[in-house]
Structure 1
Amino acid sequence: MPSDLISLAPADPADIPAFKKELQDAFAVAVVDEFGALPDGPIPSDEVLDAAIAAPNAVVLRILRDGQKVGGAVLTIDRETHHNELDLFFVKRGEEGRGIGLRAWLAIEQMFPETITWQTHTPYFEKRNIHFYVNKCGFRIIEFFNKHHGHPDERFQEDLPGGHDEAFQFEKVMKGTGNLSRSRSR
């Protein structure tokens, strides 16, 4: 009988094409729900994913349930400042609603106990993510990107469907900084 154990493992380079496809399939659900269809090409684009995966300090992880791949994450880990980023996070389609995401996030926190802050972002229309980050994981919304206040990474804005450039920036303070928000400059 399976134990429903959630664990993390570094993504194998040979697995990156499947990782990207599963991530894009998972992200497509909210886009289709909000806009009725996907724009030309997947969301996020292959170029955005390739850049995130190849970025300096990137850590690409597979989320495993009883040893089977059920999701993944791309992190940026700054081993000097310990202000880290959750760049991409997904639970594979068909696996959502089982508590996998929260258990995987808690495992990521345990994997990087020296972290002072975590930051991530999500499009404004992705209510599932907003609920997950704020109500389940303990993040706070610290910034709202829109046409009057653009996201510093232009690739992020270009990748949203329909020219929508509204997104939330989240932060979770882990230790050593009290309740400071915006604890690092861009």
Structure 2
Amino acid sequence: MMNCIELKPLEAEELNRFVRDNQEAFNFGALEEFGLRDNHFEEDEQIISRATIEMSVRDGETYRIMQSGKPVGGLVIKVDGDEGELELLFVSPHAHSRGIGYAAWCEVERLHPEVRVWETVTPYFEQRNIHFYVNRCGFHIVEFYNSHHPDPNDPDMAQDKDEQFPAGMFRFEKVVR
């Protein structure tokens, strides 16, 4: 059964809540995996920094995932011709396992039928995300960034092998036929 969700463009006055909700969702996954011993935080005990989120919002199309008029998540995408990038996708931990993320992803594909290849990344420890992208949305793992194979778009990964996600990030692609 498809969830009835709506993608609502983010309004400027909603940015602070969007950031807090995104950080809550990302922290949930890290704390679930590492507990309080986690050392993967970017700033102020956040797995993803405000600056990282704001940069994605500034450079992309940003939406709140709405269900019954209430925000239950959010996403940021970038589209350039027939290529798309999923920068951020999060669902409130209180709304997990209800099909909301999948319904939102289907809506993204409906909004951008011109995109033939979508790309995204997720940390190695986010098993929920890996399952979601591969088994639900049809992405394929195409690369594993780590200290031996750094992300060419992330110069920090090559320089600081012990920082942030030392064991790596998966890169996914989805080819739309």
TM-score (norm 2): 0.87
* Cα contact 2:7–2:107 (8 A) shared by 1: yes
- Helix, strand or coil for the counterpart of 2:88? strand
Distance in 2 (alpha carbons) for counterparts of 1:156 and 1:33: 26
Going from structure 1 to structure 2, the CA distance change for 1:49 and 1:165 (only over 3 Å counts) comes to farther
Q: Where do 5+ consecutive residues of structure 2 fail to align?
A: none
* Cα contact 1:150–1:165 (8 A) shared by 2: no
Going from structure 1 to structure 2, the CA distance change for 1:173 and 1:103 (only over 3 Å counts) comes to same
- Helix, strand or coil for the counterpart of 1:21? helix
Distance in 2 (alpha carbons) for counterparts of 1:113 and 1:68: 27
Q: Where do 5+ consecutive residues of structure 1 fail to align?
A: 176-186
Q: String of CA shifts for 1:21-71, please: whole Å, max 9, x gaps.
A: 00100000111122222545212111111111112xx10011111221110
- Helix, strand or coil for the counterpart of 2:52? helix
Residue identity over aligned pairs, in percent, reads: 38
Which of 162, 166, 169 pairs up with 2:168? Answer: 166
- Helix, strand or coil for the counterpart of 1:36? helix
Which amino acid is the alignment partner of residue 18 of structure 1? R
* Cα contact 2:122–2:129 (8 A) shared by 1: yes
Which of 64, 67, 73 pairs up with 1:65? Answer: 67
TM-score (norm 1): 0.83
Going from structure 1 to structure 2, the CA distance change for 1:155 and 1:26 (only over 3 Å counts) comes to farther
Going from structure 1 to structure 2, the CA distance change for 1:100 and 1:121 (only over 3 Å counts) comes to same
Distance in 2 (alpha carbons) for counterparts of 1:118 and 1:102: 15
Q: CA RMSD in A?
A: 2.1
Q: How does 1:44-123 map to 2 (within 5 A)?
A: 44-55=48-59, 58-78=60-80, 81-123=81-123
* Cα contact 1:48–1:155 (8 A) shared by 2: no
Distance in 2 (alpha carbons) for counterparts of 1:20 and 1:66: 21
Distance in 2 (alpha carbons) for counterparts of 1:11 and 1:132: 24
Q: String of CA shifts for 1:74-132, please: whole Å, max 9, x gaps.
A: 10111xx3200000000012011111111111011101111111000000110000000
- Helix, strand or coil for the counterpart of 1:34? helix
Distance in 2 (alpha carbons) for counterparts of 1:44 and 1:113: 30
- Helix, strand or coil for the counterpart of 1:22? helix
